Amino acid sequence: MTPEEEEMAPQCAHCHCRILGHGVESADAVFCCAHCARQAGHAELADRA
């Protein structure tokens, strides 16, 4: 993937799926959902659904 394509659809830092739409961001990573963020040790992140 080119850097431009990666920016448009980044990969989840935990499960490595492509994130289409809004992901969950921490200071150093992007996740597809709060569950993946928690599994990766970022307990402070939560979904807003």
Per-domain residue ranges of the chain:
3-39
Q: Is it the case that residue 47 has pLDDT exceeding 70?
A: no
Give the tokens for residue 21.
Answer: 């739409």
Q: Which residue has the higher pLDDT, 44 or 14?
A: 14
Q: Can you give the chain as a three-state secondary structure string? A: CCHHHHHHCCECCCCCCECCCCCEECCCCEECCHHHHHHCCCCCCCCCC
In this predicted model, what pLDDT tens digit does every residue of 12-26 receive, in sequence order?
A: 999 999 999 888 988
